[in-house]
Amino acid sequence: MRHWLKVLTLALMPMAAMAQDSRLKSLDTTDAGRAWMAVGRLDIGGTGFCTGTLISPTLVLTAAHCLFDKATGQRVDLSDVEFLAAWRLGRASAYRAARRAVVHPKFQYGEDATAARIGNDIALIELWQPIRNTTVIPFETGDRPARGEEVGVVSYARDRAEAPALQEVCSVMSRRSDVLVMSCDVEFGSSGAPVFSFEGDRPRIVSVVAAKAEFDGQRVAVGTTVEDSLTILQRELSAGRGFIAKTPQGAARNNVGARFVKP
């Protein structure tokens, strides 16, 4: 959703040799999506969506630019933001409204694709109520991947709005500071999607998709690393910073708690 680059304007860096990328696999069935239930669609007031991932029962990790209105440059009304955990074919495993959000304090919303903006394009959303569904297990985060390392991505997008897709193998083509250029297949709606390392017993989030781009005629994904930024974001939350949603009223209050079936 929202913020995509036609041409990558980061410094032109030599690219690492890539492994053979795998194709997208739709997670539109219970069996296929079982390991990825903590990835959900982040609906933004009916005007669009991003991808977000549960990293604790109350915290969703996503891209900072998802929380800004592209037309005005202003922050979106957080009362209109809802996390749909494991959204698939019209239903989610849990529905939660956003209560508070913090973006990286150095993030500046804008159209210019600078390394600083992309490197800080990360946000945390605190939910009104925790998600304690035993099938929705939050993911842990990990260290930034090395150049040439294989990663994977789970994302919603305009061509997969009703169920996410998994690309299990793509590569870190280049790394500069907190910005990663990857061969992963992303589209509109993939903003905020988790990029996973598969080292260890369970996948860990090592990057958040900030943009798609073109590099030397090749479509690439551009993301920010999470290891240092997450500490900063959690500190911002603990200090009571960020912006807060209005208390849901009427029918919207239903979104505060769990709903396991939605027409």
> In the chain, what are the domain boundaries?
25-247
Q: How sure is the predictor about 255, in pLDDT bands with cuts at 50, 70 and 90?
A: low
- pLDDT higher than threshold 50 for residue 252: no
The topology (CATH level 3) of 25-247 is Thrombin, subunit H (2.40.10)
pLDDT digits (tens, 9 = 90+) for 49-68: 999 999 999 999 999 999 99
pLDDT digits (tens, 9 = 90+) for 112-135: 767 888 999 999 999 999 999 999
- Higher pLDDT: 176 or 204? It is 204
Burial 212-225 (b: 16+ CB within 10 A, else e): bbebeeeebbbbbb
Number of Cβ within 10 Å of residue 66's Cβ equals 26
Instruction: Return d(Cα 25, Cα 214) in angstroms, integer.
Output: 23
The percent of the chain in helix, strand and coil, each rounded to the nearest 5, is 15, 35, 50
Distance spanning both ends of the chain, measured CA to CA: 24
Q: Are 209 and 183 in contact (CB under 8 A)?
A: no
Task: Average the pLDDT over 179-197 and give the result.
Answer: 94
Instruction: Return d(Cα 225, Cα 175) in angstroms, integer.
Output: 10
- Residue 18's pLDDT is 55
pLDDT digits (tens, 9 = 90+) for 146-165: 999 999 999 999 999 999 99
